[in-house]
Structure 1
């Protein structure tokens, strides 16, 4: 089973300059070429979908000027003070849109580098008439670095690439270096919620996150959380469970 997001790590590395608060963070995405259907292509190329696409759905993911996610909703019915969820690597966007539909009073920002997924997600948001969704093209770590502290209520990372080979473990999203960046952007009492279908990665995440200062395991140290009702079960997840595969959820609260 694999629903892993393309927004999880790449062999290349980014060098942050010496004056930046974080140095040499391995990029958190790999752009993969896949087929783009007509609906996704239409959404990426027609102005009626621009209200969802913060920085254009195509190109190199320029994040310049995106320093406040709440401000993106200033002119929407929810306004900028509503609870805010950021999903890192939403894939094709099906579960992301389902969550936004289910919680209309909450604002949702999704960040992705996979252009067919960006287009499809914008198309679905428009089909459902959603006003609480914004989509960003780019690297989540770069985005998080330029957001204010204590900015986001929930950060979601579902089925990231597990990078199974030992020499690639440094590319896994959940690491002390990246969690420092993630936690900084979370509000006090905010959640980091992740899920994986790879057992080794699941226990890797427990080890990293249980020992990370400033986060507390929602289910208690060393424990996993049953899938919460607000996280839809994906078709990949259903298929895997039918084949006897496990799925592990973890929710951590910022102290």
Structure 2
């Protein structure tokens, strides 16, 4: 299924400060072996014996991605991130932990989603994406109705999606959009369900900076 974004445009920085020499070397040596195929592919086929396939969109520096992968070596993790400094940082975490169950898409997540078959993933994480807080920039947000429909499409029945943000407007925006995506149901039953970090959440240094305008909110959805 091809997303209606011709041509795709990724907003925000793709690179900032110079990448450290060690991380730059990993971009040349390790990254090519971890990149996902450029053609349509079955996620679990990327790792022999993978019990499940999980996706993190916008993994930042890779802390959450690497920590989750270390916890579940039986799961194939795919991380998508266009910011090159973040990719370089993630490669450092992957190498340091000797993770064999991580694959990387160093580009726009919408391009990646278009190559993933229906009902292929058990979990998706979208954690603290760029909020683009000004109203005129809301069209730049990752979560739009067509993207949410794609996330729902690639999730298996019973699969879970987690969105987190510390910007109140983006939380409201995402709750409305994700609740309207085909087959997705918000699992919260009481306020603590979205105010308290889930038991399996990994807090990153970025999250600890509290750069938003509210406490972190966690929205978990399940695919019916």
TM range (shorter): 0.7 to 0.9
Q: 2:34 matched to 1:53?
A: yes
Q: 2:23 matched to 1:40?
A: yes
Between Structure 1 and Structure 2, how many residues are aligned?
221
- The residue number in structure 2 matching 1:240 is 210
Q: 2:97 matched to 1:114?
A: no
Between the aligned partners of 1:117 and 1:94, the Cα distance in structure 2 is 10
Please give the residue correspondences for 1:1-255 in structure 2 after superposition, counting only pairs within 5 Å: 21-24=2-5, 27-35=9-17, 36-46=19-29, 49-50=30-31, 52-54=33-35, 64-74=38-48, 79-80=49-50, 82-220=51-189, 224=194, 226-240=196-210, 245-255=214-224
Q: Is contact 1:28–1:173 with CA below 8 Å preserved after alignment?
A: no
Between the aligned partners of 2:55 and 2:151, the Cα distance in structure 1 is 11
Deviations 1:148-185 (A, max 9, x none): 10000011111111111112212222222111111111
Q: Hey, which of these two has a bigger chunk of helix by percent?
A: 2
Between the aligned partners of 1:251 and 1:172, the Cα distance in structure 2 is 19
* Superposition TM-score, scaled by structure 2 size: 0.87
Between the aligned partners of 2:20 and 2:145, the Cα distance in structure 1 is 38
Q: Is contact 1:218–1:225 with CA below 8 Å preserved after alignment?
A: no
Deviations 1:214-250 (A, max 9, x none): 1110114997363112221112322329x99411010
Between the aligned partners of 1:254 and 1:171, the Cα distance in structure 2 is 25
Between the aligned partners of 2:126 and 2:213, the Cα distance in structure 1 is 23
SS of the aligned residue for 1:224 comes to helix
Between the aligned partners of 2:98 and 2:152, the Cα distance in structure 1 is 32
SS of the aligned residue for 1:157 comes to strand
Deviations 1:113-155 (A, max 9, x none): 1222212212221221111111121211111112110000011
Deviations 1:201-221 (A, max 9, x none): 111112222233311101149
Between the aligned partners of 2:31 and 2:107, the Cα distance in structure 1 is 16
Unaligned runs of 5+ in 2: none
Between the aligned partners of 1:127 and 1:21, the Cα distance in structure 2 is 36
| Closer, same or farther: CA 32–50 of 1 in aligned 2, 3 Å | closer
SS of the aligned residue for 1:240 comes to coil
Deviations 1:184-213 (A, max 9, x none): 111011111110010111111122222333
- Alpha-carbon RMSD: 2.5
* Superposition TM-score, scaled by structure 1 size: 0.78
